[in-house]
């Protein structure tokens, strides 16, 4: 028999959307129940997403930076990599953060129920866990059940050499040859890790280019670098067949640039996108509209078509990013608490933490063209940045897009070391309605990579045109 629990707000899923919503709701005086099927809080992001991948990417960057030092006259030996210790360190980072979340939940007197949640009525959810069964009665619910890795049909799932991003983050050993199917952010980040660790990497992307949602200009520096380092970077290429061959997998390719013969790989990562978990929580049974992909549409107050049931994060739409989820979590919690809050972010910045990093926000040039928005643009190449040159990494660029009439910033795209950090200045500028002049007339420290944002603005205004 289930234990009955009552609350003001039930939150389903404890990822960055769910825990942020639960904390904010509790801080605003709500009695909160947080339901999570995994034994720890943090969701995909903390456990098998943003955080473990960035821990490994940091290690990868150190290895490739050290290799680059050979050009500066400093040589180190071949790195000795202990995957067990590397994994332990990565897991330590994750544990620290998930442990911190549990403490924050306890401090707020949030009831955390570990089990699978399914809607049982418009104000009821059944939770089935290892340590008990609960029926939770709620006034309001926030669905934050996230997304899962998409699969390709017909592949031999279950074979040890076939992994999704979670398997790739496990890093049991370093394969000799690795195939990454999917040239989006997640696939390229993992490719970057395994390349630095010594694997021979092949990337196969079905569409015309890598990271399709990013501004094309900023993808080029990444493409240039990985083309030199990887075994192959194949676009417009589809993997049509994947067959078992003992411990290895044999891939057959199709497309313009595709290898004509099937190739053998020790590890194959499928990173072809993520599917929202909307269809697996019983939401449709209580009248919540779930679309054919599994997304749950919401209004600007994060309400679904059933007004006391809200949805946030990956499950309610693109972009599937942690900071979008947590922003929406705050909106939902505040709306429930009666505050006059709604979603009004002007943009959600995106970053691929590859080497070089690719970061963009606001309009891309492709979107501006497609939507017929009159714009102007300027590009500052990092080969003219003193800071980038002193770092031995002139392979970057900073690009700004602005409104022709008002001069207001419309978008920015940056490629290069630390691009993800640099982007925040442009995101703030967009939110503040800054014109190009505001950026150009802001004194930036010299020499710094952040200067490239100012230089791009000055080029746009024509005030440093003589430099080129
Ligand atoms: P999730 O984090 O997916 O959390 C949902 C939670 O709900 C999960 O814990 C799940 O167990 C739980 N749940 C689902 N159904 C039920 C149920 N029925 N009952 C109980 N619990 C349930 N984003 C970034 O912004 N930056 C990055 O650098 C980044 N890197 C990534 C790297 C990888 C490898 C991956 C896979 C993703 C990455 N992402 C990154 C995306 C990011 O992880 C997601 O956008 C984010 O986690 C979404 O948060 P969420 O709260 O919507 O859902």
Q: Which of left, alpha, beta for 182 (phi over 0: left; psi -120 to 50: alpha)?
A: left
Question: Taking the CA of residue 356 as centre, how many other CA atoms within 13 Å lie in the half-sphere pointing to its CB?
Answer: 29
Question: Are 388 and 449 a contacting pair, CB within 8 Å?
Answer: yes
pLDDT, residue 464, reads 82
pLDDT tens per residue across span 131-147 = 999 999 999 999 999 99
Ligand 1 centroid from CA 16, angstroms: 7
Closest atom, ligand 1, to C-alpha of 319:
45
User: Based on the number of CB atoms within 10 Å of its own CB, is 209 exposed (0-12), middle (13-18) or buried (19 or more)?
Assistant: middle
**DSSP per-residue string spanning 157-188:** TT-TTEE-HHHHHH--S--SEEEEE--SHHHH
Take residue 437 and report the two structure tokens written for it: 């002049």
58 in catalytic set: no
Ligand 1 centroid from CA 1, angstroms: 31
pLDDT tens per residue across span 296-333 = 999 999 999 999 999 999 999 999 999 999 999 999 99
Q: What is the Cα–Cα distance from 134 to 293, expressed in whole angstroms?
A: 29
* Ligand 1 lined by 216 (C-beta under 6 Å): no
**Which of 40, 44, 129, 149 to mutate to test ligand 1, by most ligand atoms within 8 A of the CB atom?**
44
* Ligand 1 lined by 51 (C-beta under 6 Å): no
Asked if residue 80 belongs to a known ligand binding site, the reply is: no
* Ligand 1 lined by 45 (C-beta under 6 Å): yes
pLDDT tens per residue across span 184-237 = 999 999 999 999 999 999 999 999 999 999 999 999 999 999 999 999 999 999
Interior CA angle at 258 toward 256 and 263, to 5°? Answer: 170
Pairing of strands 375-381, 397-403: antiparallel
pLDDT, residue 468, reads 44
3-state secondary structure of 153: coil
Q: How far apart are the first and last CA of the chain?
A: 76
**DSSP label at 2?**
P
Ligand 1 centroid from CA 389, angstroms: 37
pLDDT, residue 465, reads 56
ipTM: 0.99
Asked if residue 190 belongs to a known ligand binding site, the reply is: no
Exposed e or buried b for every residue in 157-180, given b needs 16+ CB within 10 A? eebebbbbbebbbebeebbebbbb
Closest by Cα among 320, 239, 316 to 273: 320
pLDDT, residue 467, reads 56
Q: What is the Cα–Cα distance from 220 to 218, expressed in whole angstroms?
A: 5
Give the residues of the chain that fall short of pLDDT 70: 465-468
Kindly compute the dihedral angle of the four CA atoms of residues 275, 277, 283, 284, in this order, to the nearest 10 degrees: 30
Asked if residue 188 belongs to a known ligand binding site, the reply is: yes
Ligand 1 centroid from CA 372, angstroms: 34
Q: What is the Cα–Cα distance from 137 to 31, expressed in whole angstroms?
A: 11
Question: Which residues of 15-170 form beta strands (DSSP E)?
Answer: 32-36, 111-114, 116-121, 124-129, 132-143, 147-149, 162-163
Q: What is the Cα–Cα distance from 363 to 306, expressed in whole angstroms?
A: 32
Asked if residue 323 belongs to a known ligand binding site, the reply is: yes
Q: Which of left, alpha, beta for 67 (phi over 0: left; psi -120 to 50: alpha)?
A: alpha
Q: What is the Cα–Cα distance from 232 to 255, expressed in whole angstroms?
A: 14
* Ligand 1 lined by 15 (C-beta under 6 Å): yes
Nearest CA to ligand 1 atom 26: 50
Question: Are 315 and 145 a contacting pair, CB within 8 Å?
Answer: yes
């Amino acid at each position: 028999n289930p234990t009955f629990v009552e609350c003001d707000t039930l939150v389903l899923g404890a990822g960055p959307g769910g825990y942020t919503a639960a904390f904010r709701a509790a801080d605003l005086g709500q009695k909160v129940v947080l339901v999570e099927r995994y034994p720890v809080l943090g969701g995909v992001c903390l456990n098998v997403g943003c955080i473990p991948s960035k821990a490994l990417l940091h290690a990868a960057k150190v290895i490739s930076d050290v290799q680059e030092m050979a050009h500066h006259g400093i040589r180190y030996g071949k790195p000795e990599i202990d995957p067990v210790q590397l994994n332990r360190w990565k897991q330590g980072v994750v544990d620290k953060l998930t442990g911190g979340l549990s403490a924050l939940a306890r401090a707020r007197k949030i009831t955390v129920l570990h089990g699978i949640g399914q809607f049982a009525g418009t104000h009821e959810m059944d939770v089935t866990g290892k340590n008990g069964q609960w029926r939770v009665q709620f006034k309001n619910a926030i669905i934050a059940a996230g997304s899962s890795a998409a699969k390709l049909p017909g592949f031999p799932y279950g074979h040890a050499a076939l992994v999704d991003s979670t398997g790739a983050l496990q890093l049991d050993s370093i394969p000799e040859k690795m195939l990454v199917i999917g040239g989006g952010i997640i696939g390229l980040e993992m490719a970057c890790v395994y390349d630095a660790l010594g694997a021979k990497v092949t990337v196969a992307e079905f569409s015309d280019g890598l990271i399709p949602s990013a501004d094309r200009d900023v993808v080029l520096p990444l493409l240039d670098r990985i083309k030199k380092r990887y075994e192959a970077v194949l676009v417009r290429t589809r993997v049509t067949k994947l067959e078992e061959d003992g411990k290895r997998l044999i891939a057959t390719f199709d497309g313009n640039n595709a290898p004509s013969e099937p190739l053998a790989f020790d590890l194959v990562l499928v990173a072809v996108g993520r599917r929202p978990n909307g269809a697996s929580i019983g939401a449709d049974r209580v009248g919540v509209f779930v679309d054919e992909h599994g997304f749950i549409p919401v209004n600007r107050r994060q309400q679904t078509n059933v007004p006391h049931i809200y949805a946030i994060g990956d499950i309610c739409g693109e972009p599937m990013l942690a900071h979008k989820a947590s922003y929406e979590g705050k909106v939902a919690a505040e709306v429930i608490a009666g505050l006059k809050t709604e979603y009004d972010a002007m943009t959600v910045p995106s970053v691929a933490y590859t080497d070089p990093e690719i970061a963009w926000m606001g309009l891309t040039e492709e979107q501006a063209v497609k939507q017929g928005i009159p714009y102007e643009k300027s590009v500052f190449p990092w080969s003219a940045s003193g800071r980038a040159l002193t770092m031995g990494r002139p392979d970057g660029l900073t690009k700004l897009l602005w409104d022709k009439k008002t001069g207001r910033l419309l978008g920015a795209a940056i490629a290069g070391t630390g691009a993800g950090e640099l982007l925040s200045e442009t995101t703030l500028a967009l939110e503040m309605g800054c014109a190009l002049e505001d950026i150009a007339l802001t004194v930036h420290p010299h020499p710094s990579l952040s200067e490239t944002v100012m230089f791009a603005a000055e080029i746009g205004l024509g005030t440093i045109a003589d430099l080129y």
